[in-house]
Amino acid sequence: MEYQISINPLVDFFKGTESKKRRIIRDQKDPSIFRVGWYQTSRACIKKTLINKGERDFLIEGIERLKTKIVSKPQQVVNRQVSIDAMKRFLGFKIPAFFKNHNLEIIKEKNVKSTFINNVEVKVSPDIIFIIHHNDTRYIGAVKLHLSSRNIFDNKQSRFIATILNKYLLELSEKYNAEVLPELCLSIDVFGSSTISAPKDYNKSIKEVELICEEIKSLWRVA
């Protein structure tokens, strides 16, 4: 049997009630096509801000563009407002110094978007994968954004995200001839106003994620 789950639902599963856990698994078995296009403008503008040394003009332009966008359907109205709110929040974010102090080499990884944890395929799909050059060494990092105004991740959930990013990059590092630094594996929760990097104790943290995956497998058939 194949077990597949996206990274954000996985950490959402960790904090869920029994009924919510089953609902998450059902959603992963039969994903909704309507969620795919949500928050694309805000996500793109936040990514551009990070890639371009914290330049906030991308956010301001995105906010103004969405303000003038005509929408009619309830989902579109919600999508627009949440996207505007996300970009306004990110205007006040303290962006990690390395984004401002280094030129990033952006990686477009088209083939490997998942990692396997305890025989569960976790779809990671980072929003940004980048390489920093420092003292003649290449370091690889990644960012995963969380843009939910109603479902904010706590620090532990965000650490799990960053830990999974760390594992994912360890599997890519040889391909790009780069070292993985935990502090460059970032989970950014926009509405939670948090930027959490992977813990130094990788082995302990990944074992906790393995336990979550074990529970996912145990509920997979009955959800």
Per residue in 189-222, pLDDT (tens digit) is: 999 999 999 999 999 999 999 999 999 999 998 8
Amino acid present at 40: Q
Structural domains in the chain (count): 1
Q: Examine residue 86 and state whether it is found in any structural domain, yes or no.
A: no
Q: Examine residue 36 and state whether it is found in any structural domain, yes or no.
A: no
Helix or strand (DSSP H, E) at 196: strand 194-197
Domain that holds residue 213: 4-30+97-220
Q: With beta carbons less than 8 A apart as the criterion, state whether 118 and 217 touch.
A: yes
Q: Examine residue 35 and state whether it is found in any structural domain, yes or no.
A: no
Q: Examine residue 68 and state whether it is found in any structural domain, yes or no.
A: no
pTM for the model stands at 0.93
Q: With beta carbons less than 8 A apart as the criterion, state whether 195 and 188 touch.
A: yes
Output the CA torsion sign for 190, 4, 178, 207.
Answer: positive
pLDDT digits (tens, 9 = 90+) for 84-116: 999 999 999 999 999 999 999 999 988 889 999
Q: Examine residue 176 and state whether it is found in any structural domain, yes or no.
A: yes
Q: How large a percentage of the chain has pLDDT more than 90?
A: 81
Q: Examine residue 16 and state whether it is found in any structural domain, yes or no.
A: yes
Q: Examine residue 64 and state whether it is found in any structural domain, yes or no.
A: no
Instruction: Look up residue 34 and give its DSSP letter.
Output: G
H helical segments located in 54-173? 57-67, 74-91, 97-101, 155-172
In angstroms, rounded to a whole number, what is the distance separating the alpha carbons of residues 10 and 217? 12
In angstroms, rounded to a whole number, what is the distance separating the alpha carbons of residues 142 and 136? 20
